[in-house]
Every structure is written in structure tokens, then in C-alpha cells.
């Protein structure tokens, strides 16, 4: 039996047990956390290909071809050369960005060579995928800052010590105009305009710049320069990835295989892709309690795609858990707590996951905050002159910094909760409110909601963390 098979056997025994028990869940999280570092090189070529294909939207030209290429490289005493391109477009990273990194990590553990392509040149063009207008180009400083943040935040999901880094400015910057014209003579415009987003923009009269039209060509030249066996990318990048195959053929190279990754739905259950702009994401720098609580808030139907995206569970293990829900031998809430624990364990470890689980259960098994005896208290007389962001970061330690607290407010994640005999009433603290003094902004918001400090107990809430405000 393979190492993965042995781990699956142990985990499957636990998945058949009572998953409402902390002891069982802790054993399961320990097993699956360790699996994130498991050596997968003893899997056959077919098993490796199927493990990758099981988490991909598509493998082109097919899973069989991927298995054949693995076998071919093994016969030569080598691994596959895998490539993933990164456009360093943002400093803050969320769980949606980790999906290809988790698959790339599996390739690493199977014994294959991985190259991370930093799109420093193409980032200055701006990937037009899914956009209704041209994206502003990034500066070198933007790229350097965003890349540093990206690497630090996805580190729990990927071993950066076993990867080759390259920047596409190495070959794209010196590319000459005559070379480009010679290449474009061989690429029909109709192929570039196959992209639905391009057609939609032209139909709507939004326009399309030449730099955007040439973006797939630039990305395809990356494939030519690196001459890889497999390229990973989001499902929305399929046409760009296929351009890489075409340009490799034109240059007499063996075309790369392509594996496209799913675009994960956001936590709000609206069907929209996880996105910072929509506020339906889980940030990789969010505190463990907040990560746990955000996962617990998602609709039950998202448990399966989330388990596939962010855990090392096999299809058989996921089917086992979901079949137990159908048989009513497992409550969906208990499985969701395991899922939330999996994500927290990946970011912060099993101990932090179990602590977040305990905190969630203690808080939400109570009918009111009054029943929670160990809530922290903020004395307004002592801290009222400080901004809400400072209270959250320095006084309570709910956020790592005032700027982090401000980002949470920008995402509508801060609340005042007034608890009366009739129940709870929540008031959102906007970003502008969060930077004002606590003693000034709270009475103002209460008044605006038709309440006063005498209406009931007042609490400050961020994510799943709550503190009582005393002395208003």
C-alpha cells in the first residue's frame, strides 16, 4: 500500500466515527495536516495523474497523456517540469489564490520540478481576463511589494525552498518588434477574439487595447521560454494556456499539457467567485477565530467544493463524509466544523484549529453574549479617547494592527451589538467610524439607530470575537 493509501485508511476510520467529539476531530486534523507534507513519489504514474485531474477542471489533452508523460520522464530518471505563472497584482491574498498552489505542492511531493513564473513584465500590461476595462499597469515597486506579501501568505500551502523562480521580463523585455511581427503573422486574430470577455466588451462598445489583445501572446511566449511539460492556471485562463501550446508548436517544441483549476465560489453563497472586491473571501492573514467563523457561515452546498479545494482529502473520503450526511448519521454542522478546522490547521496548526473550534462552540451554543462569562471588557472611561482600530488591536488584541482592523471595517466586518430582552441589534461600523475615538462614535451610532447606552448591554464584535463595552 502507498503512503497515501495508508493515511487514507487511518482517516477513513476516523471519518466513520462520531465527528461531534473533539478527540476524534483532533486525531483527524492531525492526520490530514501531516498529509500536506506526505511524500507521494511512490504513487504510480496513473495514480499521480488521477490525483491531479481529480482537482482540476480540465487536463488537456487528457489524463492519459499526463500519465504517459510522467512514465516517460521516470524512464529517463527525471520528473516533469511544472510551471505556474503569478501576476503579482495585490498585496493581500485570500484562500481562492491558494487553489493552484496546493496542486503545485502535490506535484512537488510527487517528485516533479516546479517553476514559479513571476509575471513582472505582463503585470505591467495587465491581464484583461474577465475585466470590462483595461487594468492600470503596475510599477516595479508595486510588483516587488505584492510579491513579498504573496510569498509570505501562501507559505503554509507551498514549499518555497524547492522551487525555481523566474521573471518573464528576462525574455519579453528584449523581444524585438521584427520578432513580434514574424510571430503575429502565424496567429489568426480570430483565435485571439475567441475569448468571450473580449467579444462582450467589443459588443458593448467598451473597447479593447492592443496591449490587452497581445497579452495571450506574451503569456504564450513564457511557455516557449520555459519549455515545460505542464502549465497550471485558473479555468478562466484556458485560452491563454492554449496559446502557449500553439506557440510551442510553432517553435518546434513539444506542446505543454494544461491543467486548469476551479474558480472557487465566495463565502456569501451568491455564486460569485471569491473576491476581495465583493467581500466574500477568507484572507490568509485573518485571525484563526475569524477564519473558522467565516467558513462556518457558508451554505452547506459549498462544503464539497471547499473540501476539494483546500484539504488533502481524497474523493473517497469526501464521498464517505457526504454519504453519512445523506444517511443522517452525520450532521452537516459537524462536517462544517471539521472543514473549518482543516483550513485553520493549514494556516495556524491543529492546536489553533481546536482552540477556534472550542471558541466557536462556546460562543454560539449560548443564546446571548451575557451567557458567555469570559468575554473581555473595554472600559470606555479608560480607552474611550482611542480610535476603535486601536482598541481592537492594542487593547483587545483582536487584530494584529490598527491597519488590519481598518481593513476589516472596510469589508463591513465590524459591528456594535446591542443586546436587550428582545434580542440583539447589530450596527455596522464603517471604515470612517473605525478611525474615530470609541467614546465619540459609539453613542453617535446608537443614537442613529434609535438606541442609547441604557437600552441594553453593548458589545464590540469583529468576526467571531466579541468584547463588552462598559461605562458608556
Q: Is the pLDDT of residue 114 over 70?
A: yes
Q: Return the percentage of the chain with pLDDT > 90, whole number.
A: 47
Show the domains of the chain with their CATH numbers: 1-37+267-365 (1.10.240.10), 56-261 (3.40.50.620), 372-470 (3.10.290.10)
Q: pLDDT tens for residues 161-202?
A: 888 989 899 999 999 989 988 888 888 887 777 777 777 777
Please state, in angstroms and rounded to a whole number, the distance separating the CA atoms of residues 168 and 150. 18
The per-residue pLDDT for 365 is 58
Mean pLDDT over residues 48-60, rounded?
Answer: 95
Q: pLDDT tens for residues 340-377?
A: 999 999 999 999 999 999 988 877 655 566 656 677 89
What phi and psi values does residue 426 have, to the nearest 5 degrees?
A: -105, 140
Instruction: Give the global pTM.
Output: 0.74
Q: Is the pLDDT of residue 331 over 60?
A: yes
Q: Return the percentage of the chain with pLDDT > 70, whole number.
A: 93
Please state, in angstroms and rounded to a whole number, the distance separating the CA atoms of residues 147 and 91. 7
Q: Is the pLDDT of residue 127 over 70?
A: no
The per-residue pLDDT for 89 is 65
Mean pLDDT over residues 54-77, rounded?
Answer: 95
Q: pLDDT tens for residues 236-267?
A: 888 889 999 999 999 999 999 999 999 999 88
Other C-beta atoms within 10 Å of 34: how many? 12
Q: Dihedral (C-alpha) 374, 376, 381, 383: value to the nearest 10 degrees?
A: 170
Please state, in angstroms and rounded to a whole number, the distance separating the CA atoms of residues 362 and 293. 12
The per-residue pLDDT for 402 is 87
Annotate 244-274 with three-state secondary structure. Answer: HHHHHHHCCCCCCEEEEECCCECCCCCCCEC
The per-residue pLDDT for 136 is 60
What band does 270 get if pLDDT is binned at 50, 70 and 90?
confident
Q: Is the pLDDT of residue 53 over 80?
A: yes
Please state, in angstroms and rounded to a whole number, the distance separating the CA atoms of residues 89 and 110. 30
Average pLDDT over all residues of the chain: 87
Mean pLDDT over residues 407-416, rounded?
Answer: 80
Please state, in angstroms and rounded to a whole number, the distance separating the CA atoms of residues 229 and 443. 62
Amino acid at each position: 500500500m502507498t503512503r497515501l493509501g495508508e493515511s487514507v485508511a487511518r482517516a477513513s476510520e476516523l471519518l466513520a466515527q462520531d465527528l461531534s467529539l473533539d478527540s476524534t476531530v483532533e486525531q483527524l486534523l492531525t492526520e490530514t495536516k501531516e498529509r500536506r507534507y506526505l511524500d507521494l513519489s511512490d504513487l504510480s504514474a496513473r495514480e499521480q495523474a488521477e490525483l491531479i485531474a481529480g482537482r482540476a477542471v480540465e487536463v488537456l489533452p487528457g489524463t492519459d497523456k499526463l500519465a504517459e508523460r510522467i512514465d516517460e520522464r521516470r524512464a529517463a530518471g527525471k520528473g516533469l517540469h511544472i510551471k505556474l505563472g503569478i501576476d503579482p497584482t495585490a498585496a493581500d491574498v485570500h484562500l481562492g489564490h491558494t487553489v493552484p498552489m496546493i496542486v503545485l505542492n502535490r506535484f512537488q511531493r510527487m517528485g516533479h520540478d516546479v517553476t514559479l513564473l513571476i509575471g513582472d513584465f505582463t503585470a505591467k500590461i495587465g491581464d484583461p481576463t474577465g475585466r470590462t476595462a483595461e487594468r492600470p499597469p503596475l510599477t516595479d515597486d508595486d510588483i516587488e511589494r505584492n510579491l513579498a506579501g504573496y510569498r509570505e501568505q501562501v507559505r503554509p500551502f507551498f514549499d518555497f525552498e524547492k522551487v525555481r523562480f523566474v521573471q518573464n521580463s528576462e525574455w519579453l523585455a528584449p523581444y524585438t518588434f521584427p520578432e513580434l511581427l514574424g510571430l503575429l503573422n502565424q496567429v489568426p486574430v480570430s483565435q485571439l477574439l475567441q475569448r468571450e470577455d473580449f467579444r462582450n466588451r467589443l459588443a458593448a462598445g467598451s473597447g479593447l487595447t492592443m496591449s490587452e489583445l497581445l497579452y495571450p501572446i506574451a503569456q504564450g511566449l513564457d511557455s516557449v521560454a520555459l519549455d515545460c511539460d505542464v502549465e497550471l492556471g485558473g479555468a478562466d485562463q484556458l485560452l491563454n494556456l492554449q496559446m502557449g501550446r500553439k506557440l510551442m508548436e510553432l517553435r518546434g517544441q513539444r506542446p505543454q499539457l494544461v491543467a486548469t483549476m476551479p474558480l472557487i465560489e465566495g463565502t456569501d453563497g451568491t455564486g460569485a467567485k471569491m473576491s476581495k472586491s465583493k467581500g466574500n473571501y477568507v484572507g490568509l492573514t485573518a485571525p484563526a477565530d475569524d477564519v473558522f467563523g467565516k467558513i462556518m457561515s457558508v451554505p452547506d452546498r459549498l462544503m464539497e467544493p471547499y473540501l476539494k479545494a483546500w484539504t488533502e482529502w481524497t474523493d473517497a473520503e469526501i464521498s464517505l463524509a457526504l454519504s453519512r450526511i445523506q444517511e443522517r448519521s452525520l450532521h452537516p454542522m459537524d462536517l462544517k466544523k471539521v472543514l473549518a478546522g482543516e483550513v485553520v490547521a493549514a494556516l495556524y496548526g491543529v492546536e489553533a484549529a481546536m482552540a477556534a473550534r472550542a471558541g466557536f462552540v462556546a460562543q454560539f451554543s449560548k443564546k446571548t453574549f451575557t451567557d458567555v462569562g469570559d468575554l473581555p471588557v473595554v472600559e470606555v472611561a479608560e480607552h474611550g479617547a482611542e480610535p476603535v482600530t486601536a482598541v481592537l488591536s492594542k487593547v483587545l488584541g483582536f487584530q494584529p494592527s490598527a491597519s488590519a482592523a481598518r481593513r476589516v471595517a472596510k469589508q463591513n466586518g465590524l459591528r456594535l451589538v446591542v443586546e436587550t430582552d428582545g434580542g440583539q441589534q447589530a450596527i455596522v461600523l464603517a471604515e470612517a467610524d473605525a478611525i474615530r475615538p470609541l467614546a465619540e462614535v459609539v453613542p453617535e451610532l446608537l443614537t442613529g439607530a434609535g438606541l442609547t447606552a441604557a437600552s441594553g448591554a453593548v458589545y464590540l464584535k469583529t468576526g467571531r470575537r466579541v468584547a463588552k463595552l462598559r461605562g458608556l
